[in-house]
Structure 1
């Protein structure tokens, strides 16, 4: 073992004499306790909530050599107790979250290939989904152009279940092919972006022939930020086809925040995601799908909407207020939401229900305990309506709440530069 270390140091020393190199290695240990009592959906009558602890463990390698940058991230996600203490194999094993190489051809042009995070603007359409212990990354190729106030990214992906020799159905719950382009430019305090995303999903028709239909998501994102004002606006349309069905949907939202004092910030916002009337018999998909967005950051932290649910439904209107207070190492936030359906909710008896779905109150805190240690937590409660009961089932009269506490430890364990 000692000889191996000596050889490694010699090799690093020889390479370092030829080209400049950097290597950083860091860890993340992130356990999170959750009490779920009506989380994601109203608690069914006669049922009780539950609690558990999940954990993400990551090991990150970041390497740079002149124009070449490489990143490799190993990750394990688990629920405490999902395997016995004397188990010989982990339930989820170790996965590769990121594994990419980037080469800078010039000061402006670069390309990145491999497993990578696609994250843009406020992450409404493409995001990392970092709240989820597993997060989200893609196998893709991205080409970037960057200059002082402009950036253009375009990329694509093509997926298969394995190294097949014959046409084989793609059975993974994912797109078969993806292409996108994103442009951003900065005008002083105003930033303007435009995203075009083309996603193709495979399906078998009536003759068992494998086909791919493409859906397009596109639109602008604007962000205006000064020392006092922090605001943004976005509008996205969706068209194309999905499993031979026509798509016609849209999404728009706006936030306005104002820094009242050095410690206190207040804001308000509104978002509209189109939906489909429950008595609409047409085959057109009218419900907007945020696709790969960081949806936990929108429409309430209890994840009633668009976090693996509420797709092809009545859509959503979300009006909210954000109150943030920072003091020394502490951060506090209070965010009440008022939810309404974006389309008509009609029962099988042709009774039109009120569009009001409910009110959610989210309260969170974070404390920077040490340089590499952060403690955060929160409490949320949903006050659901009869209409929400109709859509989600469950019991709105029950106390539907959720609480969590998380510790994030992120130490840098090795850094080398030559």
Structure 2
């Protein structure tokens, strides 16, 4: 805990040096959830879950003409997880979420070093995962180039555990990351290139990503790195009240388990939206994510949207690609939505999604079910409330996919949540 106090002390000490270049803000975000089928079908004999957790963040930034430094620390507090009067944080959740420096090279270019969020376009492949209280970050070095209508990022990452088998500062050649080998989100190395061009009413981006997972031998020692390559584009068009956005990604290489080749994996998405009035807008779309045809055990055609904000896609109940549904039958997601501005401070979103497998299950079934999502937002003076309700109407294919019978599952599969968001600005730098 001493290092935690040291970090807080250094940030608070910055108050006496506050100038127009220094900012200090925070976030207090408690969320209560009722889970009765969230992420997977709940059995009739199981009890629904009910819990509250809080994300607490403190963010500090300092900027000059030559550089910018940013630090974000956070803690995740589950209500009641710490035993009374015991002076320890039981889940060890205090962490540095972001810690980076951006160095200016020219008027249009620079280098950004350290722990940072990668978030591009609609966050389909790279996103900050802000819904999850812990969020998502990357440790990397990145060259950046910006003009009025063009941007380019080139990032390089290499993860290492200095306290591994070789001991601190020794034996790097035998040390892998300190994470499980079969974790799709923890890579050994990564290189990515992102370029985006903007025209009037239209923009297009290109993303190339190569990330490698550490292989291990039978003794658990690091044994080479396998690579998974993803290439894709995001297109966005808007004219008047009409908008159209599309994604197209391809994937090849070796799956994160180190033994399965990936070939012909793809993700295709198309969404249209129409602003009917100043208060009402409608949306409709389809997304196809390739699945494994299961013809061979050492090859897959299943696409993995690895670092995206997957909660934003394929239903808020997170049945697909949020730590689940990986290397399976893929997905066809057909959806429609309506956004209604109720007044100056509140809005309501309703969305209906129909799911089926891109590949058939063993029974030949493809239909998985239909989900309904509702989200209500209300702004107050200095804070906001967000509430949501979702319900899954599972098809026979969903029961087969989850390996349970309909008679054993609860008649109602739903999820509800309520979240308070406060973002205090202690020093604005103005």
TM-score, normalised by the number of residues in structure 1: 0.91
Unpaired runs of 5+ residues, structure 1, are: none
Matched-pair contact (CA < 8 Å) for 1:224–1:232: yes
For the pair 1:374 / 2:384, whether they are aligned, the reply is yes
Q: Distance in 2 between matches of 1:263 and 1:341?
A: 35
**C-alpha displacement at 1:206, in angstroms?**
5.7
Q: 1:233 aligns with which of 238, 241, 246?
A: 246
1:146-202 Cα offsets, whole Å, 9 max, x none, are 111111111011001224411123231410000000010012111000000001001
The runs of at least 4 aligned residues of structure 1 exceeding 4 Å deviation read 8-11, 205-209, 394-397
The aligned counterpart of 2:176 is 169
Matched-pair contact (CA < 8 Å) for 1:42–1:393: no
The aligned counterpart of 1:96 is 96
**C-alpha displacement at 1:87, in angstroms?**
2.4
Matched-pair contact (CA < 8 Å) for 2:153–2:193: yes
Unpaired runs of 5+ residues, structure 2, are: 1-8, 163-167
**C-alpha displacement at 1:285, in angstroms?**
2.0
Question: Could you say what secondary structure the match of 2:428 adopts?
Answer: strand
Question: Could you say what secondary structure the match of 2:315 adopts?
Answer: coil
The aligned counterpart of 1:274 is 290
**C-alpha displacement at 1:286, in angstroms?**
1.3
Q: Distance in 1 between matches of 2:15 and 2:356?
A: 65
The 5 A counterparts of 1:30-69 are 30-69=29-68
Question: Could you say what secondary structure the match of 1:381 adopts?
Answer: strand
Matched-pair contact (CA < 8 Å) for 1:196–1:217: yes
The 5 A counterparts of 1:17-416 are 22-91=21-90, 92-162=92-162, 163-166=168-171, 167-172=174-179, 173=183, 174-205=186-217, 210-242=223-255, 243-248=258-263, 249-277=265-293, 279-326=294-341, 327-346=343-362, 351-352=363-364, 354-370=365-381, 372-394=382-404, 395=406, 398-416=411-429
Matched-pair contact (CA < 8 Å) for 1:333–1:365: yes
**C-alpha displacement at 1:11, in angstroms?**
8.0
Q: Distance in 1 between matches of 2:332 and 2:16?
A: 60
Question: Could you say what secondary structure the match of 1:280 adopts?
Answer: coil
TM-score, normalised by the number of residues in structure 2: 0.89
Question: Could you say what secondary structure the match of 1:247 adopts?
Answer: strand
Matched-pair contact (CA < 8 Å) for 1:315–1:342: yes
**C-alpha displacement at 1:65, in angstroms?**
1.3
Question: Could you say what secondary structure the match of 2:300 adopts?
Answer: coil
Matched-pair contact (CA < 8 Å) for 1:24–1:415: yes
**C-alpha displacement at 1:205, in angstroms?**
4.2
Q: Distance in 2 between matches of 1:355 and 1:10?
A: 59
Matched residues, number: 399
Q: What's the Cα RMSD here?
A: 2.0
CA distance 1:190–1:88, shift in 2 (3 Å): same
Matched-pair contact (CA < 8 Å) for 1:276–1:344: no
Q: Distance in 2 between matches of 1:323 and 1:23?
A: 41
Q: Distance in 2 between matches of 1:133 and 1:416?
A: 27
1:325-350 Cα offsets, whole Å, 9 max, x none, are 1121001100000000001211xxxx
Q: Distance in 2 between matches of 1:10 and 1:187?
A: 42
Matched-pair contact (CA < 8 Å) for 1:192–1:223: yes
Question: Could you say what secondary structure the match of 1:390 adopts?
Answer: helix
The aligned counterpart of 2:5 is none
Question: Could you say what secondary structure the match of 1:211 adopts?
Answer: strand
CA distance 1:93–1:206, shift in 2 (3 Å): closer
1:359-399 Cα offsets, whole Å, 9 max, x none, are 000001100112x3010011000000111011113445520
Which 10-residue stretch deviates more, 28-37 or 200-209? 200-209
**C-alpha displacement at 1:209, in angstroms?**
5.9
Matched-pair contact (CA < 8 Å) for 1:75–1:97: yes
The aligned counterpart of 2:4 is none
